[in-house]
Structure 1
């Protein structure tokens, strides 16, 4: 083997074992959030008052990103079960809750106090659309008025 061939082989072996890796950090954010609007609540009805809201999360950077979505406790009740909306012109509280599933059996929270979070993998070219399932139980004795509550929704990735 000539001296030129050996030097070339040395360069080739160096390149073979020298690799560079780089990963782009994921960046995720809410594209849209739609409120859970229950409409009118009939205190005399024996039926649940169900409604839905939605959120859309998108990510960039990595091809796939695992995202966990949590919804905070009720500022009015201090917990998750029940959450409570406050009457705008009074002091009445209206019990309700938010769920991860359409059967409304799993409370969407932060993973504490018997609640669950939602974890999904999001592709950088395909946002995730999540549904928030809400329910006000029947038989609550509350005054006439508008009720509302603001909650913190968090995404961890």
Structure 2
């Protein structure tokens, strides 16, 4: 996440604009062409405004969508990993606005209990798979990313906070 802006304590009651960028390039399945081909697209986790004086959490969602086509009956298993971004660890992801930071995290589901990462540091990868139907198609698989900014981060200052996360899909 990227961040800009810094205002004093008197303006802390203002709202903070937040954005999480999910970065991915074109992905291809590791299979013999023309047996199959896959693609991956992502949507951003956009938190919108955050008020540091409220105790409630600010939640948002993004997604990773995997699509494949090829030979009917072909099973294409995969694993989705995401980086920790600018944070020191998966448990301590941080968005930045200049020198200012705001804690947040990304989760595998809406219980906000399992941190999405690469399987290290208390995080988990997300497994998936596509079985191609009689036409060699299958509906795209959408994996939701659940983002949460904990409430009452009273040291946060107004500004645009951003972090950059890289999504990696590994075809097994």
* Pairwise TM-score range, normalised by the shorter structure: 0.7 to 0.9
1:108 counterpart SS class: coil
| Alignment: residue pair count | 132
Q: Which residue of 2 aligns with 1:132?
A: 145
In the TM superposition, residue 123 of structure 1 has moved relative to its aligned partner by 3.0
1:100 matches 2:114:
no
Tell me the TM-score normalised to structure 1 length.
Answer: 0.77
Structure with the larger strand share: 2
Return the offset for 1:71: 0.5
CA shift for structure 1 position 138: 1.0
Higher relative contact order (CA 8 A, sep 6+): 2
User: How is 1:112-123 mapped onto 2 (pairs within 5 angstroms)?
Assistant: 112-123=120-131
CA RMSD of aligned residues (A): 1.8
Compared with structure 1, are the counterparts of its residues 83 and 25 closer, same or farther at alpha carbon in structure 2 (3 Å cutoff)? farther
Cα deviations across residues 47-89 of structure 1 (Å, max 9, x unaligned)?
0111111121112335221110011122x223211211111xx
Q: Which residues of structure 1 form unaligned runs of 5+?
A: 1-21
Q: What is the aligned counterpart of 1:28 among 32, 38, 44? A: 38
Alignment of 1:40-51 (within 5 A): 40-51=49-60
* TM-score where L is the length of structure 2: 0.71
Q: Name the CA distance, whole Å, in 2 between partners of 1:42 and 1:26.
A: 47
C-alpha distance after superposition, 1:87-121 (max 9, x if no partner)? 1xx21011100000111100000000010011111
Residues 1:72 and 2:86 aligned together: no
SS of 1:151 mapped into structure 2: strand
Q: 1:28 to 1:138 in 2, by over 3 A?
A: same
Offset of 1:139 from its aligned partner? Answer: 1.4
Does the C-alpha gap of structure 1 residues 44 and 111 become closer, same or farther in structure 2, counting only changes over 3 Å?
same
Instruction: Give the greater-gyration-radius structure (CA).
Output: 1
- The alpha-carbon deviation at position 33 of structure 1 amounts to 1.1
